[in-house]
Structure 1
């Protein structure tokens, strides 16, 4: 049929064919370029979002630890001088009031100068040690600090006993705890050792955060960059500190999600490698 066409018609048909081919190539190129741009923009948005949440987490935990650390030398000197327990209580309250999201603070004293002279049942533990346990009833404002009845539950904190044993500061594993007959809450404790002039352990000063409050704030709709996104934080052991589902806090990510992508996430955290990783949630979403 093409042979029957006039030369002019053939030329036009050829030009049209070339144009169509060019448009096809151009369309494919444009799609590829657009896809690359969208991919880069999505990656950039993911990185910006991750940085935002990382800064939020830092603001919560750094403020608590900074307050704890800033007053540790003052508290240590006061204990070394054998200051009255009322003064010690006041120093702890001043630190605690500026400790951000911390809901409890405590000073666990093992110094014989205090354990052998203080018999106040509000501060005395069954093992003979002294515990000043405080709660902040007004996290947003100034004041609201109360000293509670000493709770022997704290004597069994693994992180506290590790600090007493090693003389090193540490952060506890997340755990659900019932303190002072309050509701069971997901908590994490930050501990700093205090020592005598000769280097002996005399006390541990700590702040305790409620991980449920922080989880709710970090997963609030107002903070979401992507619709239906989930924010969670794990430590280097794979234990969950922050999660939209409060029941998952303190559990190991391996135990609640068997998908193979979990290993990549945990290894990245353990090796402190930033990046964007594929992750399939418990519900099957990516």
Structure 2
């Protein structure tokens, strides 16, 4: 405080004014940052939720196409059989090939006719297996293009999905059904898919199944497209009702995380919390730490893969908090820089104003007062020059008062000097013997 007391009035005024401006700018930066942060948090919640819903719609449309295609095939084939039309291997092969080629996201298709049906209709084929069922299966090597369809051996399909045959043999297929998502090798191709199938009826009795292999790889590729990122470092993944990862857009971990339980590949507590939310079908915004250790905001959107098949999926759309808050960091930096410039500019203006309108005048008044005191103490012979009044403010009134006092004092001292001179002359006259002299 003693240092502050030793400062000049002008310096004190500039310091105090600059301090007030700095505090105001700091408050402005804080308030704007907090307000912007709150708005950005709300908007990022909406944006992530909307993107999760958009990805949900994208996946649901694909599922609807493949599930719908399978159901339609079930009804068509059942209708043909009920109408008494002959269902031979050639016709079924043509039908399966057409069905597969028309499906944008089907990588395979198949028909399995029961032993009872093949025996009743005396079907002879190299695609009949030892237990008597007819198995026709095709793979599409060019899912996104026309053509590329090739047949595969029955054992390739049944080795990859043995439950298909057991479900048919045990009469467990009464409606549209699915198997667990899986990875399998067909010839030289590694496929990642979900098996979707529906019953084929003859007069109300199940005599076979028809199905599609939903291509997960193409869906995974679409979801992993960086153009879908709404924030830097954004990520998308899909988990089922058990917390099993179906898709993951993180290219570094896409293969590693397939069909793994989320909390087994990510030991962070946020993974368990996310699984609990998914199992409870609680959509919303959650905090999740990624495999890269980035704390992120995650929006969850849950939906049924298809009505009444007992499988739900959850789209998780997430973005690192650092990416979400990056605009705020940039805004704060800009505000701070603008604040520093504003403080410097305002301080300069205040300095010039105080210097020209106050400090110089105060210094002039101070100098005149000191010279006036010297004049009173007879340290100088002549009175100081009157102050030049430039404004009728408090300093102007002070200057007028000083000028008046200088003038009055000057007149008084001049009269006193004359009186002293007269007194000296009178004293000399009296000393000379002239007692008539008067002061």
- Runs of 5+ in structure 2 lacking a partner? 296-439
2:181 matched residue in structure 1? 174
Partners of 2:108 and 2:214 within 8 A in 1: yes
1:125 maps to 2:132: no
- From the superposition, tell whether residues 281 and 14 of structure 1 become closer, same or farther in structure 2 (CA, over 3 Å): closer
Q: Deviations over 1:174-218 (max 9, x none)?
A: 112223x33333221112122221x32211111102323321221
Q: Of the two structures, which has the highest relative contact order with CA contacts closer than 8 Å and spacing of 6 or more?
A: 2
* SS class of match (1:134): strand
The answer to whether the aligner puts 1:258 opposite 2:261 as a matched pair is: no
- Which residue among 105, 127, 131 is the counterpart of 1:101? 105
Measured in 1, the distance between the counterparts of 2:164 and 2:257 equals 21
Q: Does 1:47 align with 2:54?
A: no
1:76-121 per-residue CA deviation (whole Å, 9 max, x = no partner) reads 1223335232223333333222221111011111152324522311
- Which has the larger helix fraction? 2
Partner of 2:277: 268
Moved more, 142-151 or 230-239: 142-151
| 1:63 and 2:72 correspond | no
- Aligned equivalent of 1:146, options 144, 150, 161: 150
Aligned to 2:190: 184
Give the count of matched residue pairs. Answer: 283
After superposition, the Cα gap between the structure-2 partners of 1:229 and 1:10, relative to the gap in structure 1 and judged at 3 Å, is closer
- 2:309 alignment partner in structure 1: none
Alignment CA distance shift 1:192-1:32 (3 Å): same
Offset, 1:263: 2.0
Spell out the pairing of 1:213-252 with structure 2 (5 A cutoff).
213-243=218-248, 244=251, 245-252=254-261
| Most deviating of 53-62 and 156-165 | 156-165
Aligned partners of 1:64 and 1:102 also within 8 Å: yes
Root-mean-square deviation (Å): 3.1
TM-score by length of 1: 0.83
Q: Verify the 8 A CA contact 1:106 1:134 in the aligned structure 2.
A: yes
2:116 aligns with 112
Aligned partners of 1:137, 1:183: CA distance in 2, in Å?
9
> Is the Cα contact below 8 Å between 1:67 and 1:98 reproduced in 2?
no
Shift in Å at residue 16 of structure 1? Answer: 7.4
Rounded Cα–Cα distance in structure 1 between residues aligned with 2:112 and 2:193: 18
